[in-house]
Structure 1
Amino acid sequence: MARRWTVAVLVAGLLVTTGPASTAVAATDDPGRVAAVGPGELVSARQIAAPGFDEATTWQISYRSTTALGLPNVVGGTVLVPKGDHAGPRPVVGYAVGTHGMGDQCAPSRRIASGAEGEANIIRMFLDKGLAVAVTDYEGLGTPGDHTYVVGRSEGQALLDVVRAAERLDGLSVASPVAIHGYSQGGQASGWAAELAGSYAPELLVKGSAVGAPPADLARVAAFQDGNAGAGLILAAGIGLDAAYPELGLRGYLNPLGTFAVADVRDDCVAELAMKYAFRRLSTYTTVDVLALPAWRARIDEQRLGAVRPADPVLLYHSPSDELLPFDVSTDLRDRWGALGADMTWWATPSGGHVTTLEMMAPAVVGWLANRVTG
């Protein structure tokens, strides 16, 4: 039976009481304590007052998850539960945000706490339908270490584990139907969560996953973005992959300008790195073609979606006019999942840019997921 969290939290000898909002998510850095609890166990939790979310009880949490290499870690997140009663177990949405950046200040939990979260309107759409929302910060955003940006297994596990953690809070339970939502980086996370749910978190009652504009094939995405508007995201991806897989040794392939750029990107949010590094070439910053190195190529290929059939229904959608992530990466993922026999709905959305498609399609996507968990 899941433990209920109300006023105090006790996990593996670590006591954390609820209290005023803070700019940081409390977490233990004791590896022994982290390893002693299972994935999805709460490490800390406190109620906060989140601007714009008066209709919900909001928890800022940290929880045990798992790295891409299978090691225990601690990830931050936010759980919002609509106030008032709910007939039966309240559904919960595991929510993965699009790219926020690399610095700790970019973490969704900090954005939600300060009223600056760019996807707040979509979160409210779920709350308005009576669904709780569990938002992961991902590994390394607001917690020690670099953010493992675009590392699919890390993202997918963090997303599934934030749902597990949410189910231990007051107002939710292990009987809660689960939906998974993500767009852009979040689409990669939700795609990986859909593929991993049956093996990594089989107890979750996942009813459907929405996967929007995912970077489902990083090699092709990098080729598309190199010298393009999203060029700064390649530097962020290099940092993220290097953080997840230390053997890659990014530092050894950087020239002086690259050393400066990587240090700069490490604490940038997405708007900063997008503006500063747009239309640059990766070769400007490196001494070799890093993406062609065998070790790098192997790890990049590991992030490719479409090798595992999602066990539950999936909505995959993308705009043909996306200027940041190539549309044909999603059509290929559609074909790979289709060949595996996935229960999949495919939407080639009306023309819109990368960001505008998220906003334009949100009502339909929220409705599709709500129907899965309430129907």
Structure 2
Amino acid sequence: MRVRVTRRGVAAAVAALVLTGAGLVSAAATGPAQAAPAPAAADPWPPDDSFYVPPSPLPAGKPGDVLRWRPSKPGPSSKTVNAWQVMYLSTDALGKPNAVTGTVLLAKNADPATAPVVALTPGTHGPAFQCAPSKMLSIGAFYEQPALDGLLGAGYAVAMTDYEGYQPEPKTTYMVGQSMGHATLDSVRAAMRLPEAGLSADAKVAVRGYSQGGGAAMWAGQQQPEYAPELKLVGVAGGGVPADLVQVSLSLEGKRGFGFLVYALMGLDAAYPELKLDSYLNDHGRTEFAKMRAGACTADLLLDYSNRKLIEFMAKSPVLEPAWLARIKENKLGATPIKVPVFDYHGTRDDIVSFRQAETLRNDYCKLGVAVTWKTYDSDHITPIYTGNADALQFLADRFADKPAAPNC
């Protein structure tokens, strides 16, 4: 499948999304916002970018506690769906408290008291602040809108994290599973603790996502028994999963998805300050990485950095340094079992997230006794963002209906 992306503004991006189902969005950079005093969580927040600035110091509380909220625009579904942006407490990759933003959504005709909750973990959106999933959603430019619509149409409440670091001075921890899993599980806690949503703390919970979101979903599944044991998790669906960052990066160097490789390096550096990525960059790399952080969304990563190589940006490579390898190892999936049924799917011709490492994850989970339903598609990486939706939605429906899983290990 060939995807064409232009930079003619949000209107063109939304049109491409509606017409092709495969829109990738690029937006113009916005200036930094100033932090404002935090009101009580019971009060709605003003409609400006100060919403995304974490309070400093962070207030005391538990992971998942809502720090602030405000009504939100749920994209094209504004007439049929209620949505709230939230900022909630979570835990970073080093085990320290942080604040993460996200969105809680529920169809207006759904009963919040009985609605199951699905954590929808977004795919790659890019390092710049304006790329945050909640921002893309609010302007109608969320490229996974079909997946979201399917969940809402089924009567599920949706908790959609932005992941760590989307703020006016962005420090996104892209591809850091130890952070993404926490942000995902705490988005569900926040949805259940948001009085305006009216959700039940006893609701059944599932997680689903694709690409970066597929990785986040699996991390949430691995972490849930210890990190959020009170959640009634019944299933995890993840597609295009980047399980092994080393193997994924090998297939990106000099290829179409190179921009995702350098973004992953930036994400690791944001999560683990001792890695000191800047010390490896040459002058051109510092300029380009700063430009990425200021304005690059998914389309820019694909278009502007296609077929490039690390040597263009770095005086020396960090990828074989012991400190980097240790942190990468900490963020490799498959060492811990997921205790609930898993739907794991992947394109056999995936040119961005290696199919071979995805097969390895499936085999690792099977060896650990995970109830994995594995499905492959004869496709590239982009296509299953859409073609996998029906299978993932059916998998979740079966879990909420207490139907027995059909693992095929």
**TM-score where L is the length of structure 1:** 0.92
Deviation at 1:16, TM superposition (A): 5.5
> For residues 45 and 164 of structure 2, what CA distance do their matches in structure 1 show?
24
Deviation at 1:68, TM superposition (A): 0.1
Structure-2 residue corresponding to 1:29: 55
Is structure 2 residue 75 aligned with structure 1 residue 51? yes
For 2:303, which of 254, 275, 280 is the aligned residue? Answer: 275
> For residues 234 and 327 of structure 1, what CA distance do their matches in structure 2 show?
16
For 1:294, which of 292, 298, 322 is the aligned residue? Answer: 322
Q: Which amino acid aligns with 1:52?
A: P
For 2:243, which of 211, 216, 222 is the aligned residue? Answer: 216
Is structure 2 residue 336 aligned with structure 1 residue 308? yes
Q: Which amino acid aligns with 1:49?
A: K
Structure 2 residues without counterparts, runs of 5 or longer: 1-37, 403-409
* Alpha-carbon spacing, 1:358–1:24, altered in 2? closer, same or farther (3 Å): farther
Deviation at 1:85, TM superposition (A): 4.7
Is structure 2 residue 353 aligned with structure 1 residue 325? yes
Could you tell me the percent identity over the aligned residues? 40
For 1:198, which of 221, 225, 229 is the aligned residue? Answer: 225
Structure-2 residue corresponding to 1:99: 124
Structure-2 residue corresponding to 1:165: 190
Structure-1 residue corresponding to 2:138: 113
* Alpha-carbon spacing, 1:172–1:298, altered in 2? closer, same or farther (3 Å): same
Instruction: Tell me if the contact between 2:81 and 2:105 (Cα under 8 Å) persists in the aligned partners.
Output: yes
Secondary structure at the counterpart of residue 126 of structure 2: coil
* Alpha-carbon spacing, 1:252–1:326, altered in 2? closer, same or farther (3 Å): same
How big is each residue's C-alpha offset from its partner over 1:120-173, in whole Å with a ceiling of 9 and x where there is no partner?
121010111100111100001236541000000100100000000001123312
> For residues 112 and 86 of structure 2, what CA distance do their matches in structure 1 show?
26
> For residues 261 and 112 of structure 2, what CA distance do their matches in structure 1 show?
46
For 1:184, which of 183, 206, 211 is the aligned residue? Answer: 211
* Alpha-carbon spacing, 1:89–1:279, altered in 2? closer, same or farther (3 Å): same
Structure-2 residue corresponding to 1:7: none
* Alpha-carbon spacing, 1:144–1:258, altered in 2? closer, same or farther (3 Å): closer
Secondary structure at the counterpart of residue 181 of structure 1: strand
Q: Which amino acid aligns with 1:83?
A: K
Secondary structure at the counterpart of residue 350 of structure 2: coil
Instruction: Tell me if the contact between 1:65 and 1:157 (Cα under 8 Å) persists in the aligned partners.
Output: yes
Secondary structure at the counterpart of residue 235 of structure 2: strand
> For residues 225 and 168 of structure 2, what CA distance do their matches in structure 1 show?
27
> For residues 15 and 196 of structure 1, what CA distance do their matches in structure 2 show?
27
Instruction: Tell me if the contact between 1:305 and 1:333 (Cα under 8 Å) persists in the aligned partners.
Output: yes
> For residues 159 and 25 of structure 1, what CA distance do their matches in structure 2 show?
19
How big is each residue's C-alpha offset from its partner over 1:201-223, in whole Å with a ceiling of 9 and x where there is no partner?
00001100001111100011111
Is structure 2 residue 174 aligned with structure 1 residue 149? yes
Secondary structure at the counterpart of residue 68 of structure 1: coil
> For residues 101 and 340 of structure 2, what CA distance do their matches in structure 1 show?
26
Is structure 2 residue 265 aligned with structure 1 residue 238? yes
When the two chains are superposed, the root-mean-square deviation of aligned CA atoms in Å is 1.7
Instruction: Tell me if the contact between 1:49 and 1:113 (Cα under 8 Å) persists in the aligned partners.
Output: yes
Instruction: Tell me if the contact between 2:280 and 2:318 (Cα under 8 Å) persists in the aligned partners.
Output: yes
> For residues 87 and 264 of structure 1, what CA distance do their matches in structure 2 show?
43
> For residues 356 and 282 of structure 1, what CA distance do their matches in structure 2 show?
27
Secondary structure at the counterpart of residue 306 of structure 1: coil
Q: Which amino acid aligns with 2:71?
A: Q
Structure-2 residue corresponding to 1:285: 313
> For residues 79 and 306 of structure 1, what CA distance do their matches in structure 2 show?
29
Is structure 2 residue 136 aligned with structure 1 residue 136? no
Structure 1 residues without counterparts, runs of 5 or longer: 1-11
| Matched residues, number | 361
Counterpart mapping for 1:59-98 below 5 A: 59-86=84-111, 89-98=114-123
Deviation at 1:27, TM superposition (A): 4.8
Deviation at 1:51, TM superposition (A): 3.1
Q: Which amino acid aligns with 1:25?
A: F
* Alpha-carbon spacing, 1:167–1:16, altered in 2? closer, same or farther (3 Å): closer
Instruction: Tell me if the contact between 2:66 and 2:88 (Cα under 8 Å) persists in the aligned partners.
Output: yes
Instruction: Tell me if the contact between 1:20 and 1:48 (Cα under 8 Å) persists in the aligned partners.
Output: no
How big is each residue's C-alpha offset from its partner over 1:300-339, in whole Å with a ceiling of 9 and x where there is no partner?
1211100000011111110101111111111000111111
How big is each residue's C-alpha offset from its partner over 1:266-290, in whole Å with a ceiling of 9 and x where there is no partner?
1311111221111011122111221
* Alpha-carbon spacing, 1:310–1:147, altered in 2? closer, same or farther (3 Å): same
Q: Which moved more, 1:254-263 or 1:13-22?
A: 13-22
Instruction: Tell me if the contact between 2:236 and 2:341 (Cα under 8 Å) persists in the aligned partners.
Output: yes
Q: Which moved more, 1:122-131 or 1:168-177?
A: 168-177
Q: Which amino acid aligns with 1:325?
A: V
Instruction: Tell me if the contact between 1:21 and 1:113 (Cα under 8 Å) persists in the aligned partners.
Output: no
> For residues 85 and 299 of structure 1, what CA distance do their matches in structure 2 show?
42
Q: Which amino acid aligns with 1:161?
A: D
Deviation at 1:28, TM superposition (A): 3.8
Q: Which moved more, 1:42-51 or 1:21-30?
A: 21-30
